[in-house]
Amino acid sequence: MRQENNSENSILKRIFARAADSAENLAARAVRLGIGDDAALFRPRRGHETILTCDWFLEGTHFRSDQHPADAVGWKCLVRALSDVAAMGGVPRCFLLSLALPESHTGRWLDAFLGGLRRASRKFNCTLAGGDTTRCREILTNVTIVGEIREARAVLRSGARAGDVIYVTGRLGEAELGLRILRSSPGQMRPGNAMLKKHLYPEPRLAVGQWLAEKRLATSMMDLSDGLSSDLSRLCAAGRVGADVESGKLPVVQHSSTSRGAGVHPLHLALHGGDDYELLFTVRPSKVNMLPKAFRGVPLTAIGRITEQRGVVLLKQAGRERQLHPGGWDPF
């Protein structure tokens, strides 16, 4: 943890006082804090590989500080990165937080941010081990997660084969609908409905991912961060395969007055909505009967099949079909 001056030192002290685990917790995880030193030390368990992933969460690009509560920013910057560990089937161990802030946000905003970060850190059992803070005109966060998985158990994107059944966890499009609700509301608001909560405080599907990896049930897996149409295309490209998706099987958002009011079609949200952080995975036909309808309360839904022919095809009711092109979130 680089410490650039005394005022930065005081910020670092607050970060660790509010967001870090107790020393006993750290010892149990074999993590030695990077605060007050140049780097953190981590002792991985025997027979395990280390999983490494990092993720941007930037004001302007990914959130707006006038609309997103600070504690949701703290929660989500960690969860986004945790979702990548879930998508390998891994167990998160610790994380590094890189935080750049305007001086105006080093007071109450930072406290609320750290509150959200700490709740996520505790809930998903991932300890703050170090990081770097500096000053910037905008709020910038970058989180690196260090996780573990038993050797050779990581589920890659590239393992899907023709005939495999395609599954998703949870419901698709809820976070996108939540974002639309947020945008149509004046100022900041606290999550009142489930869609908004899914946008502001998503949950990484760690338990499902770990179970699929441990039982060797998934042939390929990734998380849905940009939307099914974009992410399924990537999974297919990685495995040099294609996919047929049955639109009638997609676990779309439940129709409600809210979603109808937003004037968006549930199928469109399910295909192209980003930020769900659900898992997309494939299962050999012979193992499909080992999958329950839900795992620890999270629905597991078969939505189609992997094909030999490249490209993703959407099969609609009444036998119509069309090519599905990536239409998810796009920073460039």
Judged by CB under 8 A, the chain residues 95 through 114 that form the site for a second copy are 96, 98, 100, 103, 106
Window 184-203: residues binding a second copy (CB under 8 A): none
Q: What is the rounded CA–CA span in Å between residue 32 and residue 37?
A: 10
CA end-to-end distance (rounded Å), the chain: 31
Q: Which stretch binds a second copy (CB under 8 A): 18-26, 127-135, 182-190, 191-199?
A: 127-135
Question: Is the Cβ of residue 8 or residue 246 nearer to a second copy in the bound state?
Answer: 8
Q: Return the residues of window 224-243 that contact a second copy according to CB under 8 A.
A: 225-226, 230, 234, 238
- CB closer to a second copy, 100 vs 179: 100
Q: Check binding of 84 to a second copy (CB under 8 A).
A: yes
> Which residue from 15, 78, 79, 87 is in contact with a second copy, where contact means CB under 8 A?
87
Q: Does 121 bind a second copy (CB under 8 A)?
A: no
- Single out the residue of 41, 189, 288, 290 in contact with a second copy (rule: CB under 8 A): 41
State yes or no: residue 2 binds a second copy (CB under 8 A).
Answer: yes
Phi, psi angles (nearest 5°) of residue 181: -65, -45
SS3 24: helix
Find the shortest distance in angstroms from Cβ 180 to a second copy. Answer: 20
**Which is closer to a second copy, CB of 156 or CB of 313?**
156
Q: Is 207 in the site for a second copy (CB under 8 A)?
A: no
Residue 73 interacts with a second copy (CB under 8 A): yes or no: no
And the tokens for 191?
């999550």
Number of residues written out for the chain: 332
Task: Please report how the helices 70-86 and 108-123 are oriented relative to each other, as an axis angle in degrees rounded to 10.
Answer: 30
- Of 12, 70, 79, 88, the residue at the interface with a second copy (CB under 8 A) is 88
Q: Which is nearer to a second copy, 39 or 288 (CB)?
A: 39
Closest distance of CB 146 from a second copy, Å: 6
> CB-based contacts of 212: which residues, under 8 Å, 6+ apart?
89, 155, 218, 221, 279, 281
Of 16-24, 155-163, 294-302, 306-314, the window that binds a second copy (rule: CB under 8 A) is 155-163
Dihedral of CA atoms 95, 197, 66, 13 in degrees, nearest 10, equals -30
Q: Which two tokens stand for residue 329?
A: 């979130």
Q: Is the distance from CB of 33 to CB of 16 less than 8 angstroms? A: yes
159: which DSSP letter?
Answer: G
Reference 79, options 206, 187, 189; nearest CA is 206
Q: Does 43 bind a second copy (CB under 8 A)?
A: yes
- Amino acid in the structure at residue 180: R
Indicate which single residue of 17, 22, 104, 137 sits in contact with a second copy (rule: CB under 8 A): 137
Residues 235-294 close enough to bind a second copy by CB under 8 A: 238
- Residue 144 binds a second copy (CB under 8 A): yes
Smallest gap from Cβ 262 to a second copy, in A, equals 24
Q: Are strands 127-135 and 91-101 parallel, antiparallel or unpaired?
A: parallel
C-alpha distance from residue 133 to each of 22, 181, 238 (Å):
21, 33, 36
- Applying CB under 8 A, among 72, 73, 85, 312 the residue interacting with a second copy is 85
Q: How far is the CB of 6 from a second copy (least distance, A)?
A: 7
User: In degrees, to the nearest 5, what angle opens at C-alpha 41 toward C-alphas 73 and 16?
Assistant: 40
* Collapsed DSSP state (helix, strand, coil) of residue 284: coil
Instruction: Please report how close the Cβ of residue 194 comes to a second copy at its closest, in angstroms.
Output: 25
For a second copy, give the closer residue by CB, 142 or 259.
142
Per CB under 8 A, the list member of 13, 36, 240, 290 interacting with a second copy is 36
Q: Where are the alpha helices (DSSP H) in 100-190?
A: 108-123, 174-183
